Amino acid sequence: MRVFQIGRNDAGQRADKFLCKACPKLPKSLLYKTFRKKDIKCNGRRIPPETFLQAGDVLQVYLPDDCFGTAQKPKPAPVLPMPEIVYEDAQIALLKKPVNLPVHADDRGSADTLAGRFLQYLAKTGAYDPAKEQSFTPALCNRLDRNTEGFVIGAKTAEALRTVNEMIRENRVTKRYLCITAGFPPKQQDTVSAYHRREEGQKAEISSRPREGFKPIRTGYEVLQKHDDLALVLVTLHTGRTHQIRAQMAALGCPVLGDKRYGNRDANRHYSISHQLLAACILQLDVPAEGHLLSALCGRTFSYTPEFCARYGFDI
């Protein structure tokens, strides 16, 4: 028999989902068979798989120990530098991701990721002890392309992860980007409604009208400055599709400078730039002043000016 004491980071999830995480070596077929045989109890009572767990619950799984497999001891990872932490409290950390650091492992197979560095940092500071956690691992709530810099929210607790993810779904996390475009947007300021589709490993497609397989997107932009054939543009995401800004600006005829996938090759070559000049540099969370897990962030806006602005002649 295996016994689990449900902690704060384990609470709020279904019993079957918890056990899938807490016992990764336990075959799912055997897990659900055990539920059907009523050999899984919570606080001494038999439960179905969809039972939601609460902090303090005691979960008992009536299976021999050898059914759970033997956990392999992870190899120690090399210590990697932590990017700048702009804000941190007991629930979240706001990280400033540099260019060429993937948020998660990508198709290049890099073992060095922002998520990995975040876990290392939390373990080093004592905010996270993987040996004591049964089902929860701190995680990043949003992602950026490898060659896009800017703010990424890291959740240190399960409650924070659920809260921020819910806020993102409800459009209560405002994300604004600065970018330099090769060419000028068609208007000084606009909010563009379009339709987006991206298949795995392919470029995103933008359509001005509904098409099968395309999802609606909304992208706001404001031209802040212009000189020569370049524009400094402030972009506000109202939806969050993969490569949305890069594909949408290209569809408007003013691709992000340095973008290898959607950009203008002649302009990229002329300015000798090898990565997109795009930064998620303004972030605000819509939370009440009191009674919310993240009320400390009420009224706060986090922002910085990307170095590439001055380098390409823009003064803000």
Nearest to 196 by CA among 251, 274, 142, 150: 251
Q: Cα-flanking dihedrals φ and ψ of residue 162, to 5°? A: -65, -40
**Run of H or E residues at 267:** helix 265-270
Interval 97-116: pLDDT, tens: 999 999 998 766 677 899 99
Question: In 10 A of CB 123, how many CB atoms?
Answer: 15
* Distance separating alpha carbons of residues 52 and 40, to the nearest angstrom: 13
Residue listed under structure tokens 């120690």? 76
DSSP 163: H
Q: Give me the amino acid identity at 101.
A: L
Nearest to 8 by CA among 133, 114, 105: 133
Burial of 52 by CB count in 10 Å (0-12 exposed, 13-18 middle, 19+ buried)? middle
* Distance separating alpha carbons of residues 2 and 25, to the nearest angstrom: 13
Interval 8-37: pLDDT, tens: 999 999 999 999 999 988 999 999 999 999
pTM, rounded to two decimals: 0.88
Q: Is 79 helix (H, G, I), strand (E, B) or coil?
A: coil
CB hemisphere CA count around 42 (13 angstroms): 19
- How do beta strands 278-285 and 149-155 pair? parallel
Interval 226-259: pLDDT, tens: 999 999 999 999 999 999 999 999 999 999 999 9
Question: How is domain 2-68 classified at the architecture level of CATH?
Answer: Roll (3.10)
* Distance separating alpha carbons of residues 177 and 278, to the nearest angstrom: 7
Nearest to 52 by CA among 62, 43, 65: 43
Contact 79, 48 (CB under 8 A): no
* Distance separating alpha carbons of residues 178 and 261, to the nearest angstrom: 18
The pLDDT > 90 percentage for the chain reads 87
Residue-level pLDDT at 72 = 59
For the chain, first and last CA: distance in Å? 63
Q: Is 17 helix (H, G, I), strand (E, B) or coil?
A: helix
Q: Cα-flanking dihedrals φ and ψ of residue 20, to 5°? A: -65, -35
- How do beta strands 230-237 and 173-182 pair? antiparallel
Residue-level pLDDT at 75 = 63
Question: How is domain 173-311 classified at the architecture level of CATH?
Answer: 2-Layer Sandwich (3.30)
Nearest to 146 by CA among 175, 182, 112: 112
pLDDT at residue 61 is higher than 70: yes
Domain ranges of the chain: 2-68, 85-169, 173-311
What average pLDDT score do residues 269-293 get?
96
Interval 296-315: pLDDT, tens: 999 999 999 999 999 999 99
Same fold: 2-68 with 85-169: no
Residues 6+ apart with CB under 8 A from 17: none
- Match domain 85-169 to its CATH number in 3.30.2350.10, 3.40.630.30, 3.40.50.720, 3.30.1330.10: 3.30.2350.10
Sign of the Cα pseudo-torsion (208, 213, 215, 216, in order): positive
Nearest to 48 by CA among 16, 95, 93, 6: 16
pLDDT at residue 222 is higher than 70: yes
